[in-house]
Amino acid sequence: MPVERKKPTLDLTASATPDTSNASIEQSSEQVTISLASSGAKATILLHGATIISWTAHGREQLWLSTSSALDGSKAVRGGIPLVFPVFGPPPPETPVASLPQHGFARTSKWSLLGRAEDDAGITVDFGLGSESLSQDVREKWGYDFNLMYSVKLTDDTLETKLVVQNVETDKNFDFNVLFHTYLRIPNVDNVSVHGLKDLTYRDKTLGNSTHSETGDTIKINGQTDRVYIDAPDEVVVQDDGKPIFTVTKVGLKDVVVWNPYDAAEQIGDWEPKEGYKNMICIEAGSVAAFQTLEAGFAWEGGVVHKAHL
């Protein structure tokens, strides 16, 4: 199928392929929804943060989203798939990212819709964010010239995300972290286990970032969990009662974060319902344990394939 690249101001719905197409796109000034008629798969992406706020596959919602999350651009979305760039967590002092907010600015900036493409498997939409469209405040905190291109591809049972980071400086390198902060919707956290992280070293953020070795074949969530698994294999499987419900496959990314706030969700202002932690697990693929350096004039790319089994 042809690839269309359009200026952000153009209406991609108007130029959509005829009604007979399997794929369709609807857009407003705030969000884009893509869908596939054959399976009913659907995804909605806010221009705010290019945050995926909903993904339907197999007739059910696959992402967790707080019912009290701001969706109007006033703060980062609590749920879905926010994008973390160029720093993960609280910025380390005395680094070029030191003045940025936790998890950086990608999730709180307004992105542009760049274009769409279709193939036999599904539909892809591309979003862009460049240094020239950042707020003055963010520019003052992180002054590098860059372009980000984020592609979201929907197939019948997968949601595929890919980020390209371009350093468009002529002679300045920059360091960055990147992470796809996916909140997966699960039936019941008590029955869920995470597979694929055995024998890895992880940093436990609930224990002062101390380093541990994962001995279990599977990880169960019995309390507040916030771990960075370093140099993880590319595939992590989430099971419910022993049956796979999600496979998360990372491409070009090093680490996997497993996060569930458990009853500490009580202290998270935009977390509703408070017991919602029972129906979510964050499996976040990224490169976060260390900064990576992007040289002037170079580009980096990485992404995640989320496959829903049910």
Ligand X SMILES: O=P(O)(O)OC[C@H]1O[C@@H](O)[C@H](O)[C@@H](O)[C@@H]1O
Contact 173, 296 (CB under 8 A): yes
CA gap 247, 180 in Å, rounded: 15
- Sign of torsion over alpha carbons 295, 286, 237, 22: negative
Q: Which of 16, 34, 87, 103 binds ligand X (CB under 6 A)?
A: 103
- Choose, from 284, 301, 306, 309, the residue flagged as catalytic: 284
CA gap 291, 294 in Å, rounded: 10
Q: Which of 118, 126, 169, 226 binds ligand X (CB under 6 A)?
A: 226
Is 78 part of any known ligand binding site?
Answer: yes
Residues in binding contact with ligand X, number by CB under 6 A:
10
Q: Which of 111, 127, 259, 291 binds ligand X (CB under 6 A)?
A: 259
Give min distance, CB of 48 to ligand X, in A: 14
Q: Kindly tell me which of 110 and 205 has the beta carbon lying closer to ligand X.
A: 205
Give min distance, CB of 261 to ligand X, in A: 7
Cα distances (angstroms) measured from residue 254 to each of 50, 51, 202, 230, 291: 22, 22, 12, 7, 11
Q: Kindly tell me which of 169 and 284 has the beta carbon lying closer to ligand X.
A: 284
Residues numbered 268-287 forming contacts with ligand X, rule: CB under 6 A: 284
Is 185 part of any known ligand binding site?
Answer: no
CA gap 266, 271 in Å, rounded: 8
Does 284 participate in catalysis according to the annotation?
yes
Please tell me whether residue 257 binds ligand X under the rule CB under 6 A: yes
- Binding pattern for the stretch 45-84 against ligand X, x by CB under 6 A and - elsewhere: -------------------------------x--------
Is 102 part of any known ligand binding site?
Answer: yes
Cα distances (angstroms) measured from residue 116 to each of 4, 17, 37, 144: 6, 11, 17, 28
- Choose, from 181, 212, 235, 301, the residue flagged as catalytic: 181
Residues numbered 175-214 forming contacts with ligand X, rule: CB under 6 A: 181, 205
Does 275 participate in catalysis according to the annotation?
no
Contact 281, 221 (CB under 8 A): yes
Name the 3-class secondary structure at 206. helix
The residue length of the chain stands at: 310
Contact 256, 289 (CB under 8 A): no
**Binding residues for ligand X, per CB under 6 A?**
76, 89, 102-103, 181, 205, 226, 257, 259, 284
Which residues are marked as active site? 181, 284
